[in-house]
Chains A and B, each alone.
Chain A
């Protein structure tokens, strides 16, 4: 079947295109656009039909008319794509706006945990010294009087023994005490190891003081012990300076002044200068040769230093804690202020 050739007026093509583009641009939603696509882009749309009738266009006009139709179709598709993009973006944007929430709402549905700040401080000190090459030595809290006193040059009848308010265990002649310092760990370390010895001894200690704003019968100490060749009091001073700077800040300085402890000779108290005043920090000194000898260390070859300070006091000064009750009572509002100790 054939029909006579029919020319397509370029103006008609232009009209089809303009109608289509106008319709597309008037679409208000993706749904509307979908409808418009059917009538202006789909198989039955005027432009598609024009294209289908191209076979009836006289052969000599066909190329030119085909080109016109092709261009018009491309324009229509372009308009459609643009509109679709525009409407999709608008829809998505609107959805995001609608999905906005109040991010300040409470979100913690589980308990928030925390380390006790004394534990964090202990970790901090352990890390400092482990980093220097020390080991961390620990020992029992219920301790032999021999290790807590005798080996530390605190004989039975020495007044220094009454300096320490000791908790004794029944029966008294068992010789068991709650350790009054972590120094028995130093003795254990020296009995178990040969020099060189570089250790710190953190741990719980006990003295029969009533709990008040600044005292507690159960407290924590960290002690340091170094036994090696050519160890001097200058090594002690340098180690204390480093320790203080790390814990209290790089600008903090220390001073040592003469004192007495049975287990060190010479002995010293160490103070640090903080917020404009000297604050007592702990005791220190060169390990008394009697102590080294009680552990079988050759004092003609080795010397050593030791120091010890209270963790509670250190924490109180550094973190502005004014009442010991807060540290010992286990109220979670206290520890939670410190979180995991990374602050």
Chain B
């Protein structure tokens, strides 16, 4: 909301010693103190110093013989004698009033004006263009004043540049401050100065006295849920050629609106001033009564912005007996617009339901000055007053006659709340005396009637947001300033659940992240947005092919949510390589999204009280489970080349080894098997299983994907399903055995498709409880041989004795024969 200081000053009695235009910083601080962020201060005259005066052009002498037209101009500046200046512009004539910078003035850009000889004449000042004054880009000519001013008077005032503008942000709960009047009330309160309100009674009386007989258009409210009050004032005889007064046009411009025509400008001016949106209809285009109603069977309307808008039944309209005339509170219709011939005006001011206007605005993606105000709540008292103020302005400046008013509906009942002032101090945490509370509430506009400890506080008509103790507490706290609130640190109590500190899952995520960083991986945070062609390239099937689509993505490029971390990590790895990294190791921890369960719909559950257990269940089950994954990628070398020699390219073994190391820190027992799973190489992907469920995958990325993304062959990737791994209870330690170990080797030929893990596990079973460890120490396969040779070292140890060689040989036989039986293996001697 852009607020010219001169306009604010009409509503505030500033002390003589306080010139608001010279105390901008204090005004800014005062707005911030009561909750309005200042977005900008526009001070057009900030760069101008010294004398800048209004002068009338008396004579023009054209000087010839120069590359461009040059004029030598005689001016009346109310001085004893004429003042002569050189001027290069030609857009003025004798009798025009212009802006003259006198010697001694300094214009923006540190442009000092002095008397000097030029073009063979003495120039005693300069006639200014808008750009020279830093007021705009217009350099096509000098400023020619439209209104009449006294010669020699302050030209900054004449062009409105003396008037700084403060642009404040208005929060949704303070609709009333989307007006000069409302903002001035807040500013006056914050500064402790007197607020000077409009004389509404005098205004209404004045209009009533001007009433002349004539046709009065009638109004009716067909849908009471859409509006509770409407005024329609009928005027005729408006001079369609009447111009908007310069002061009004200037203020509209200052506030960021474009002057259009007197009727439109008056409605906008009054809206900016008081906060009540108004609409002027061409009364001759209204058939019968003007109605507030829902669209029902009306199909479309063309709005002022020349858009044909398809109506839905619920749209709130202003209509006549035949057709829709306006989207209520949102935008007028093109057909009933005030035009260049309009002389009869029906001036409408209503108190529309904020929700109805919000829906109009949302459905038609149409946010207007009017809808923004109605959505935030407009003071219901204003419809009558603002329409009267606008009517009077049309009478005064457009020569209109007033014929009377049709109105329907009634003012909503005033809001009151019972509070006890002591509770305010209790909530804020500092002591406000009841005198202080009463003073603050009065300043805000509340009426307080006290009976004992409980007060009955009636909110002012413009504050529909005040209806709970906490609302009044905020008013008191901001009236006295938040800086009065002391600083105190509460001591947390142990929750009833008894749980404190990080949860096991939170600790696990931290551990895994730190471990990966220690292993040389750099963490990234990728956006979880992907697209169909990426999903197709990665070849996801099953759960990982099912995701959610964003209805309104920033760009249509990536409308889907990731089901796996691989897309983002591999693309980021590729980006790093393209930026010059020779090899990269990256990791990410984050949620993935899979659309695999039918979800409940939990919309529309009341928030008036705690939902029932069933409703809560429904709410929770309306949200898909989002699993926490940690993934990592190594593209290129895992051991780096350097002066020491060549490095080593990462391969599936690294992926499996890193994943195993990570898993071993959070679970003591897992198994590994080969799987074929996108986006991995079909023969080089390990699945890690805990308690029968896959919890991680690791291996080399499919060469097709590496090629498509520009990643080196053998790029490895692993992903852990962090929350799928059960939280372990405290580890129960095994005693350390100090008896000597007995070592036995055993080797087999087995079919190549048998995995080392399978044999290891069978060896364990076969060898029994004295087996301490099994280690594969050799593996080879002759070219073309369907068999592989695997050699293992078995370490045996008994807790209580030294094992004899007989005992150990027997155990080795048992272990070996179980492998032979199970896998068509042959024992190598």
Residues of A in contact with B (beta carbons under 8 Å apart) = 105-106, 108-116, 118-119, 123, 126, 130, 132-136, 138, 140-147, 150-151, 153, 155, 157-160, 162-163, 167-176, 178, 191, 193-194, 196-198, 204, 208-210, 217-218, 226, 228, 230-235, 237-239, 241-242, 255-260, 262, 265-269, 286, 288-290, 293-296, 303, 327-332, 335-336, 340
Which are the 10 A-B pairs with shortest beta-carbon distances?
A296-B610, A232-B429, A234-B429, A258-B35, A330-B524, A266-B474, A111-B520, A260-B171, A133-B492, A198-B492
**Are B427 and A232 in contact (CB-based, < 8 A)?**
yes
A176 close to B548 (CB less than 8 A): yes
In the complex, the chain A residue whose C-beta lies closest to that of B599 is A174
A23 to B133, CA, bound (A): 106
Shortest CB distance A136–B (Å): 6
Query: Which residues in B have their C-beta under 8 angstroms from that of A260?
Result: 35, 171-174
Q: Are B516 and A113 in contact (CB under 8 A)?
A: yes
Q: Which residues of A contact B501 (CB under 8 A)?
A: 130, 135
- Taken together as a complex, chains A and B put the C-alpha atoms of A16 and B818 apart, in Å, by 80
Given A109-B642, A109-B647, A233-B427, A266 and B601 contact (CB-CB distance below 8 Å): no
Q: Which residue of A lies closest to B555 (CB)?
A: A210
Q: Taking the nearest CB of chain A, how far is it from the CB of B548, in angstroms?
A: 5
Q: Mark B494-507, 1 if CB is under 8 A from A, else 0.
A: 11110111110010
Instruction: Give the docked Cα–Cα distance between A115 and B527 (Å).
Output: 17
Report yes or no: A332 in contact with B522, Cβ–Cβ below 8 A.
yes
Q: B493 contacts A258, CB within 8 Å?
A: no
Residue of chain A at shortest CB distance from B589: A119
Contact for A109 among B469, B626, B640, CB less than 8 A: B640
Q: How large is the interface on B (under 10, 10 to 19, 20 to 34, 35 or more residues)?
A: 35 or more
- B510 close to A (CB within 8 Å): yes
Is B397 positioned at the interface, with any CB of A under 8 Å from its CB?
no
Interface of A is mostly: mixed
B610 contacts A160, CB within 8 Å? no
Residues of A close to B489: CB separation below 8 A? 132, 235, 238-239, 241-242
Contact status B482-A286, CB under 8 Å = no
Inter-chain contact A233/B485, CB cutoff 8 Å: yes
User: Of the 9-residue stretches B121-129, B152-160, B388-396, B572-580, which lies at the interface with chain A?
Assistant: B572-580
Contact A232 B552, beta carbon cutoff 8 Å: no
Determine the chain A residues whose CB is within 8 A of the CB of B593 once the complex forms: 141-142
Q: Which B615-674 residues have C-beta < 8 A from chain A?
A: 616, 619, 622-626, 634, 638-640, 642-644, 647
**Residues on B with beta carbons closer than 8 Å to the beta carbon of A210:** 554
CA distance A5 to B147 in the complex (A): 152
- As a 0/1 sequence over residues 30 to 55 of chain B, the CB contacts with chain A under 8 angstroms (1 = contact) are 00111101000000000000000000
> Cβ of A155: which chain B residues have Cβ within 8 Å of it?
607
With A193-B497, A233-B477 known to touch, is A110 a contact of B639 (CB < 8 Å)?
A: yes
Contact assessment for A163 and B35 in the assembled complex, using a CB-CB cutoff below 8 Å: no
**Smallest CB-CB separation from B478: which chain A residue?**
A258
Which of B359, B549, B623, B634 is the one whose CB lies under 8 Å from A143?
Answer: B623
For B477, the chain A residues whose CB sits under 8 A away are 233, 258, 266
* 16 A-B contact pairs sorted by A residue (CB < 8 Å): A119-B513, A136-B503, A141-B591, A143-B623, A144-B623, A176-B622, A196-B495, A232-B428, A234-B428, A237-B487, A258-B33, A290-B468, A294-B608, A330-B572, A332-B576, A336-B522
Judge whether A144 and B622 touch: CB under 8 Å. yes
- Tell yes or no: B201 within 8 A of A by CB: no
A168 to B642 Cα, complex, angstroms? 50
Residues in A whose Cβ lies below 8 Å from that of B376 = 159
Whether A295 touches B523, Cβ cut-off 8 Å, given contacts A140-B591, A259-B35, A260-B35, is no
Q: How far is the CB of B586 from chain A (nearest CB, A)?
A: 7
Known: A237-B488, A330-B572. A145 touches B603 (CB 8 A): yes
Q: How distant is B488 from chain A, measured CB to nearest CB, in Å?
A: 4
Instruction: List, in ascending order, chain A residues with CB within 8 A of B354's CB.
Output: 157
Q: How far is the CB of B576 from chain A (nearest CB, A)?
A: 6
